[in-house]
């Protein structure tokens, strides 16, 4: 089933990513663009600083190159991101939480010539820099640094002729099923998606968006600028810090991760706080449990909605209705985007309600992967295979079931780990859980569970056995959990994703996992 929109539904966007900013600066020069508790930068100052830093980057790298940017939430990364593109380079956004091997991998894959990063990432880079022959210059940015000031130049920019079809950015995949890949996104991919998001989330010049993510994700930067909105940065990982920051700055929409929102929803002190200006709470990155969404919506009296997308789609393809969401759904396609579900084996398109692999098509779909040919991962007719399993209801809403690579077969019955997790979470003694595939000679594969027990039940084997037994009583035999262990916490990557392969290995050996 596809939701097809005419090209007329696509928003009008400039040819280059950095022109989103220059357009906003021309229209709203004095409006705050990027804000923290101790810093405010209006659109005019933002645009001027980007031009000055772009001139410095052209001096460092006169030929088109890849400029990598990595720091925790800080205004410098917003400047660096746009400056790299304005200078005619390709910007690669690096997760500042990466350890040495993964850092060397992504910078090497990108072929980064210049890296702008914070002190923590720089210390790790020092251990692997000899593995990066293309890297020439490193500039420190972020809190307590003056790297962008030293880099800035008050001189005209050299023309570079980059346009809508050229590569603007490299966005790295999460690496949950292997080493991260570098997704090549054109200027049009990113600018169209920024406007698609702004429209889907109903952002405008009156919006004050609070970005509460572990790394600076350009999705929310770009969509706020496309709307001429104000963006507030909250670097603290604590959910209550985001609430207080929202109140201090009059935020109208709060963007956060499911794991943080779920923690907030479960906090017994939730009734003691309020967010009078926040009109919507948006969750993205992975699935937000329905119970958590309902709890937050009821407590704050605002809609809590989700979206869906991939690094390969710039990233957003779906958004639930920000005013009347259906909890558990990621919503309908954003403007100009098509979605269908196909049978996993026959590849035939399924009607409403059928469960299969989600495919996407639209102007935000990537050019390809760095190091690979254009169109890698795409069908000849433009459909992108997502690797996600889902279903579309009669109203065109997408419901995700699992990752295709996470789904497995027990005695030829398809098992979705999320279905088993949902049953386990009904037990009040379960604070968090991940279900993984375990190889089995008799059945091909069976389900295993890594469980965080609530309260004082940590590592209580008897309680764990009881939890598993009660869940198994309600599950068909092919979904039943055959092995389990307790953890202090479920390890997640910087963007909140779970590495099931690693956890399956840990469960197989019954070794403790660091939270």
| Digit-coded pLDDT (tens) for 439-480 | 987 788 999 999 999 976 567 889 999 999 999 998 888 899
CA-based nearest residue to 444, from 410, 417, 477: 410
Task: List the alpha helices (DSSP H) in 32-167.
Answer: 43-60, 75-86, 100-110, 119-125, 147-151
In this prediction, residue 513 carries a pLDDT of: 42
Percent of the chain with pLDDT over 90: 75
pLDDT band at 416 (very low <50, low <70, confident <90, very high): confident
In this prediction, residue 3 carries a pLDDT of: 39
pLDDT band at 409 (very low <50, low <70, confident <90, very high): confident
Please say if the pLDDT value at position 5 is more than 60. Answer: no
Q: Give the number of C-alpha atoms closer than 13 A to the C-alpha of residue 492, restricted to the C-beta side.
A: 16
In this prediction, residue 444 carries a pLDDT of: 80
Q: How far apart are CA 93 and CA 218, in angstroms?
A: 8
Task: List the alpha helices (DSSP H) in 61-186.
Answer: 75-86, 100-110, 119-125, 147-151
**Pairing of the two strands 208-212 and 182-186:** unpaired
Q: How many CB atoms lie within 10 A of CB 240?
A: 15
Q: Are 405 and 417 in contact (CB under 8 A)?
A: no
Q: How far apart are CA 95 and CA 317, in angstroms?
A: 22
pLDDT band at 166 (very low <50, low <70, confident <90, very high): very high
Higher confidence at residue 130 or residue 514?
Answer: 130
In this prediction, residue 511 carries a pLDDT of: 64
In this prediction, residue 514 carries a pLDDT of: 40
Higher confidence at residue 170 or residue 73?
Answer: 170
In this prediction, residue 413 carries a pLDDT of: 73
Handedness of CA 243, 249, 252, 256 (dihedral sign): negative
Q: Rounded mean pLDDT of 229-256?
A: 95
pLDDT band at 378 (very low <50, low <70, confident <90, very high): confident
Lowest-pLDDT choice from 48-57, 82-91, 178-187: 178-187
In this prediction, residue 77 carries a pLDDT of: 94
pLDDT band at 96 (very low <50, low <70, confident <90, very high): confident
Lowest-pLDDT choice from 1-10, 262-271, 306-315, 380-389: 1-10
261: left (phi over 0), alpha (psi -120 to 50) or beta: alpha
Query: Going from the N-terminus, what domains does the chain have, and what CATH number goes with each?
Result: 16-392 (3.40.50.12780), 408-509 (3.30.300.30)
Contacts of 306 (CB under 8 A, 6+ apart): 282, 283, 284, 287, 288, 293, 319, 320, 325, 329, 330, 331
What is the rounded (10 degree) CA torsion for 216, 220, 226, 231? -80
Q: How far apart are CA 266 and CA 68, in angstroms?
A: 37
Q: Rounded mean pLDDT of 306-335?
A: 96
What is the rounded (10 degree) CA torsion for 93, 95, 96, 102? -110
pLDDT band at 124 (very low <50, low <70, confident <90, very high): very high
Task: List the alpha helices (DSSP H) in 256-415.
Answer: 258-266, 290-300
The H or E element that residue 472 is part of is helix 461-473
Residues composing the chain: 515
Handedness of CA 348, 352, 355, 357 (dihedral sign): positive
Rounded to the nearest integer, the mean pLDDT of the chain is 91
Higher confidence at residue 400 or residue 213?
Answer: 400
CA-based nearest residue to 309, from 417, 201, 432: 201
Q: How far apart are CA 296 and CA 262, in angstroms?
A: 9
Task: List the alpha helices (DSSP H) in 411-459.
Answer: 417-424
Cα angle value 434/440/446 (rounded, 5°): 35
In this prediction, residue 196 carries a pLDDT of: 97
pLDDT in tens, 169-180: 999 987 655 678
Q: Rounded mean pLDDT of 90-99?
A: 90
In this prediction, residue 495 carries a pLDDT of: 62
pLDDT band at 2 (very low <50, low <70, confident <90, very high): very low
Q: How far apart are CA 320 and CA 335, in angstroms?
A: 13
For residue 91, is the peptide bond before it cis, meaning its omega torsion is within 30 degrees of 0?
no
pLDDT band at 1 (very low <50, low <70, confident <90, very high): very low
Name the DSSP class of 8: G
**Matching residue, tokens 């979605």:** 339
What tokens were used for 125?
């880079």
Please say if the pLDDT value at position 80 is more than 80. Answer: yes
């Amino acid at each position: 089933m596809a939701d097809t929109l005419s090209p007329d539904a696509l928003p009008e966007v400039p040819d280059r990513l950095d022109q989103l900013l220059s357009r906003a600066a021309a229209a709203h020069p004095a409006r705050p663009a990027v804000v923290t508790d101790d810093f405010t930068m209006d659109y005019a100052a933002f645009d001027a600083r980007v031009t000055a830093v772009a001139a410095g980057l052209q001096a460092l790298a006169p030929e088109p190159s890849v400029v990598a940017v990595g720091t925790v939430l800080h205004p410098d990364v917003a400047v660096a991101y746009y400056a790299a593109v304005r200078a005619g380079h390709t910007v690669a956004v690096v997760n500042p939480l990466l350890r040495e091997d993964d850092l060397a991998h992504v910078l090497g894959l990108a072929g980064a010539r210049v890296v702008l990063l914070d002190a923590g990432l720089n210390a790790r880079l020092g251990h692997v820099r000899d593995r990066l022959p293309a890297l020439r210059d490193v500039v420190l940015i972020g809190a307590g640094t003056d790297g962008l000031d030293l880099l800035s130049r008050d001189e005209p920019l050299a023309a570079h002729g980059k346009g809508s079809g050229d590569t603007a950015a490299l966005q790295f995949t999460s690496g949950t099923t292997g080493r991260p890949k570098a997704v090549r996104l054109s200027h049009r991919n990113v600018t169209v998606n920024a406007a698609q998001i702004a429209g889907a989330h109903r952002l405008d010049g009156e919006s004050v968006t609070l970005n509460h993510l572990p790394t600076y994700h350009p999705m929310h930067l770009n969509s706020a600028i496309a709307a001429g909105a104000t963006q507030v940065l909250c670097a603290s990982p604590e959910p209550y810090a985001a609430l207080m920051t929202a109140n201090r700055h009059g935020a109208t929409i709060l963007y956060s991760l499911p794991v943080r929102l779920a923690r907030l929803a479960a906090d017994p002190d939730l009734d003691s706080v309020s967010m009078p200006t926040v009109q919507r709470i948006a969750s993205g990155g992975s699935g937000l449990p329905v119970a958590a969404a309902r709890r937050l919506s009821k407590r704050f009296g605002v809609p809590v909605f989700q979206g869906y997308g991939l690094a390969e789609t710039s990233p957003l393809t779906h958004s639930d209705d920000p005013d009347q969401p259906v909890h558990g759904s990621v919503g309908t396609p954003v403007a100009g985007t098509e979605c269908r579900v196909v049978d996993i084996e026959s590849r035939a398109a399924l009607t409403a309600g059928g469960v299969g692999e989600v495919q996407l098509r639209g102007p935000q779909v990537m050019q390809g992967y760095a190091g690979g040919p254009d169109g890698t991962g795409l069908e000849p007719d433009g459909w992108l295979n997502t690797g996600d399993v889902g279903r579309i209801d009669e109203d065109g809403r997408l419901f995700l079931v699992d990752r295709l690579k996470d789904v497995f077969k027990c005695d030829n019955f398809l098992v979705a780990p999320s279905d088993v997790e949902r049953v386990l979470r009904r037990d009040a003694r379960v604070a968090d859980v991940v279900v993984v595939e375990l190889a089995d000679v008799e059945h091909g594969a069976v389900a295993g569970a890594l469980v965080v027990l609530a309260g004082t039940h940590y590592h209580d084997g008897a309680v764990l056995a009881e939890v598993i037994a009660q869940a198994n009583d309600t599950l068909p035999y092919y979904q039943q959990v055959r092995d389990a262990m307790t953890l202090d916490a479920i390890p997640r990557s910087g963007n909140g994703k779970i590495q099931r392969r690693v956890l399956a290995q840990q469960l197989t050996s019954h070794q403790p996992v660091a939270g």
